[in-house]
Amino acid sequence: MQVRNCLPLDHLDRLTDSTGLVQHAIYSIPRRESGYTTDDNARALRLCARLWSVRADERMLQRVTCYLSFLEHARCPVRGFHNFLSYQRDWLDAAGTGDCQGQAVLALAEVLASPLPDGYRALARALIDAVLPALADLRSLRAQAYVIQAWAHLWRAGVEDIGRIEDVARLAAQRLFECYHRSQRPDWPWFESRMTYANAVLSHALFDAAERWPDEAFLAVAESSLAFLDLVTTVDDVFWPVGNRDWYSHGEDKALYDQQPVEAATMAGAALAAFRLRGDENYLAIFRRAHRWFHGRNSLGLSLADRHSGACFDGLQPTGINQNQGAESTLAYLWTELLNAEVQQGNTVTQRAQLRAGPPLALTSLVTSVADTGDTLLTEDMLE
């Protein structure tokens, strides 16, 4: 019986060169002039480190090596990480954006909590320790949310000596909590006066915080904010995220387009975090809506995913699909498929127990299909 990896990474490999992951594509071809970003390479590192933990092989280790090396190179001399690297390998920013710091630490936490070789985990820990002062000073809400998720992953995996990052994560959770109460209105239970991008990561982070600190009021905010986000992004049982043309400000109409894959991926992640903690199968319904968005259950009825190459189109526009297949979109799709494989491992009752147990699931269904049958990761049953 031949074992193969069913999560297709052909397009991810197409966008990756010896430096790292190219940021954008023109159609399916890497757009070299766009250069590289640390947040995209961090997303790729997180994905490949998780997949290597499922089944170690040399090709996956090569991917992990490339993306981890990029993060090591992105370390700023002063603090934090650079984000934008030109194709000529010149850093274009004096210091990375706030979101970039959070994405990088989340990926490094995946490496540190994995069974990757000692040197990989040692480098991940060293990089996390080096940027801790920058993490404590973050003002980006999404960056703080990623730091909370990173710490929670380390905590569930039983990684030792994480007290310093736990202190940063708790402070970040308190900041999110305070922002929610400053911004909320009777008709607007949200963290900011405007919904923009990757909205669900804010609720996701507070579900993680509530799991560790149940005596705090984090859970109530996590539940109410995710319920509101679900309300404003669901139309006739279809996931319809906030568009990035004009976003969604309190008291105004929600932008309907352009819809971005990162919204579906972060919504899926938040719903699964909520289900892990609460065991409410309504959260699985939210997860499935977000997952199906990639496969045509969206406002235009068009599939964005290429199941053969693992590519994903860059979004939905009023007139159709954005035909480019960039790094962020592709990784949003691949990560959501990985989460879907976790959900598909068992029925919801046993799944709940497995998720509450802590570390990521074995994902045997993802990597141990029988090659002779030609089965793919996705089946029609999974989309029903």
Residue-by-residue pLDDT tens, the chain, 384 positions? 222 347 999 999 999 999 999 999 999 999 999 999 999 999 999 999 999 999 999 999 999 999 999 999 999 987 899 999 999 999 999 877 789 999 999 999 999 999 999 999 999 999 999 999 999 889 999 999 999 999 999 999 999 999 999 999 999 999 999 999 999 999 999 999 999 999 999 999 999 999 999 999 999 999 999 999 999 999 999 999 999 999 999 999 999 999 999 999 999 999 999 999 999 999 999 999 999 999 999 999 999 999 999 999 999 999 999 999 999 999 999 999 999 998 987 533 334 434 443 433 334 334 433 222 223 344 333 343
d(CA 78, CA 51): 32
Assessment of whether the complete model's pTM goes beyond 0.85: yes
**Residues forming a β-bridge with 24:** 31
Q: Which residues, at least 6 apart from 61, have a Cβ–Cβ distance to it below 8 Å?
A: 52, 116
Nearest to 141 by CA among 83, 180, 106, 110: 180
